[in-house]
Amino acid sequence: MPLVRIDLNKSYSSDISKKIGDIVYAAMEQEINVPKDDKFQIITRHDASEINIPDSYLGIKYTPGIIIIQITLNGGRSVELKKNFTKKLLKNYIPNYILEKKMYLLV
């Protein structure tokens, strides 16, 4: 049973927050074979002061629009499968929905 935690600024509506969760779940179903209805997510919208991040780190600039996605998976999926999933999620799934350029961080 994967557990997904999504933390984002309150500037995102609850509808957009839920849509991001739906996008992550769809990607998990298609890319890493998560079973139907195996959807356990904690989505938290925060005041700007509650997301404590630097302006930049290692040459990457962060914005107040950052979306932090944490996915906890049980053992059994290869590191390669997880890496491919992360790349596809960022490249193929999320950008198709979010029109304004934001910074996404997967932990």
54: annotated active-site residue: no
Q: Please give the tally of structural domains in the chain.
A: 1
Query: pTM of the full predicted structure?
Result: 0.84
CATH number at residue 47: 3.30.429.10
Catalytic member of 2, 35, 64, 95 = 2
Per DSSP, the three-state class of 89 is helix
- Domain residue limits at 83: 3-106
pLDDT digit string (tens) for 47-86? 989 999 888 888 888 888 888 899 998 888 888 988 888 8
Average pLDDT, the chain: 85
pLDDT digits (tens, 9 = 90+) for 41-58: 999 999 989 999 888 888
Residue ranges of E strands in the chain = 3-9, 41-46, 56-57, 60-61, 67-72, 104-106
